[in-house]
Amino acid sequence: MSELNVKDFMETIIARNPGEPEFHQAVQEVAESVIPFINANPKYREAKILERIAEPERVIMFRVPWLDDKGETQINRGFRVEMNSAIGPYKGGLRLHPTVYLGLLKFLAFEQVFKNSLTTLPMGGGKGGSDFDPKGKSNNEVMKFCQSFMTELQRHIGPNTDVPAGDIGVGGREIGFMFGQYKRIRNEFTGILTGKGLNWGGSLIRPEATGYGCVYFTQAMLKFKGDSLKGKICVVSGSGNVAQYTIEKVNQLGGKCVTLSDSSGFIHDPDGIDAEKLAFILELKNVKRGRIKEYAQKYGCEYVDGKKPWGIKCDVAFPSATQNEINEDDAKTLVKNGCIAVGEGANMPTTPEGVEVFQKAKICYGPGKAANAGGVATSGLEMSQNSLRLSWTREEVDQRLQGIMLAIHEQCAKYGKEKDYIDYVKGANIAGFVKVADTMLDQGLV
C-alpha cells in the first residue's frame, strides 16, 4: 500500500465535504501532523484509520419549531454530529449561534475527538447545536426553543450513548431547560447533560473548568521554559464563560488581564480586571445579558468598537471567543509586541497562517484541543460523580483538573518534543490520535 500524502488526502476530504471550510481547516491541521506518523506506522495506514476518523459515525439533523412571544411560529435547524465513539460515549457541547451549520459542527466534533482522547478519560467526540440566536430573546423564548430542541434530541442521547454540554450560547440556563424537558419526556433522572446545576447533578468547578484549565496549561508551558504567569500582562478576547474564569485564574496566579471583548468590540483597562470588576462582568454577561461597552462606561476605560484586542501589548494572549479570531497579521502584531505565550480557550481561534507565525517565532503556543480540554475533562468528572451518585469537593475536582492539564502537557511533550522547544500542535494531534487509532484497531472495522 502506497504512502499517504496530505495533498491527496485533503483533495478527497474537500470533494466529499463541499462548502465546509472550517471542517477542511481542522482536518488539514491534523493531517499535517499525523500523516508522517501514519506512514511510519503502516498498521494505521492499512486500516484507513485517518480516513475513518474524518467521517462522522452519525449525523442527525432536525427541525426545531417554536412559538415566539408574539405567537409567531419560528423554525430553526438542530444538529448533533456523533463523530467517534471508539473510546467512550459521544461527548461535546451544544452551540447556539446564527452561524451554526453542519460544517461548523463537523469541525468542532472532529476537534473534540482528539481533545477528549487527550483528557485521559473515556469519552468519544461529538458536537451539536442550532442556528437559533439567543441574543435579544426573552427567557420564555429561550425556554420554548430549548424544549423543542430537546424533544427531538432526547431520542438520540443517553448517559452511555451521547452526553452533550454547553458551548457558545449554551450555559447553565439552557442546560436547565433542556434537562427538564428530557426528564419530562423520558421519566428518568440521569446524567444526559453536563454543566448541570449543583442541586441536580452538576459538578463543582465545571463552570470554571475551561478557563481555569487553559490557565493551568499555559502556566505549564511557561514553567517548562522556567517562567510563570506572575506579573504577566494578559490579553483576553470574549467575555463569556471561558473568558470570565480565565481572568479569575490569571488573577489568582499573579498575572493581570487588561482586555475583554464581545462581537461588537473590546475594552482596554490597563489597571487590570480585578475581582470586583470581574463580578460586574459576570452580572452583566450572565444575568443582564448586556454588552461589553457597558464595562467601559462603568469604569471609565477605553472601548474600541468593531475591533479585536490583539493590538494591545501583552506577554500572554488568551483567545476565548470563537474560531479564526486571530489572523496572520494579528499573530505578527502579538509577536512583535513581545507576546511569549498563547493559550487557546476557544476552539481553533487562530487561522493556519497565524499558527505558522507563532510556530516560527517559537513562542509557547497551546492549541485549543490541548489548552481548553479542562472543560470537557471536568464534564467527564461530572459523569463519574453522576455514576457514583456522589459529589466531590471543590478541592478534589480542582486537583483532578490540574492533574489532567499536566497530563495533557506531558502527552504533548512526548509526541511534540523538538530540539529546543515543544511543538504542541504536533504533540496534541499525535497523542490524541494514537489512543483513538489503537482502539479502532482493537475494535475491528466499524
Count, residues near ligand NDP per rule CB under 6 A: 22
Give SS3 for 171.
coil
Pick the closer one to ligand NDP by CB: 169 or 255: 169
Give SS3 for 348.
coil
181 binds, among ligand 2IT, ligand NDP, none (CB under 5 to 8 A by kind): none
- As a whole number of angstroms, the distance between CA 46 and CA 382 comes to 37
Of 142, 145, 149, 143, nearest to 62 by C-alpha is 149
347 counts as binding ligand NDP under rule CB under 6 A: yes
Pick the closer one to ligand 2IT by CB: 209 or 312: 209
| 117, 219, 347, 351: residue in contact with ligand 2IT (rule CB under 6 A) | 347
- As a whole number of angstroms, the distance between CA 274 and CA 256 comes to 8
Pick the closer one to ligand 2IT by CB: 347 or 386: 347
262 binds, among ligand 2IT, ligand NDP, none (CB under 5 to 8 A by kind): ligand NDP
Cβ–Cβ < 8 Å for 177, 142? yes
Active site residues: 127
17 counts as binding ligand 2IT under rule CB under 6 A: no
Place of cell 452526553: 163
Give SS3 for 4.
coil
- The grid coordinates listed for 343 are 493559550
Of 413, 416, 406, 415, nearest to 435 by C-alpha is 415
CB of 321 to ligand NDP, least distance (A): 3
263 counts as binding ligand NDP under rule CB under 6 A: yes
Q: Which stretch binds ligand 2IT (CB under 6 A): 8-16, 136-144, 146-154, 372-380?
A: 372-380
- As a whole number of angstroms, the distance between CA 171 and CA 126 comes to 18
238 counts as binding ligand NDP under rule CB under 6 A: yes
DSSP class of 326: B
244 counts as binding ligand 2IT under rule CB under 6 A: no
22 counts as binding ligand 2IT under rule CB under 6 A: no
78 binds, among ligand NDP, ligand 2IT, none (CB under 5 to 8 A by kind): none
Alpha-carbon distances, residue 86 vs 117, 375, 392 (angstroms): 10, 20, 28
- The grid coordinates listed for 389 are 451518585
| 118, 165, 192, 222: residue in contact with ligand 2IT (rule CB under 6 A) | 165
Q: Which residues are registered as beta bridge partners of 267?
A: 260, 303
From residue 129 to residue 168, what is the string marking binding to ligand NDP with x (rule CB under 6 A)? -------------------------------------xxx
194 binds, among ligand 2IT, ligand NDP, none (CB under 5 to 8 A by kind): ligand 2IT
Strand order in the sheet with 302-305: 259-262, 265-268, 302-305
- The grid coordinates listed for 398 are 480542582
User: Residue 92, Cα to own-chain centre: how many angstroms?
Assistant: 9
- The binding site for ligand NDP (CB under 6 A) comprises 166-169, 171, 210, 238-242, 262-264, 320-322, 345-347, 372, 375
- The binding site for ligand 2IT (CB under 6 A) comprises 91-93, 112, 115, 165, 167, 194, 347, 375-376, 379
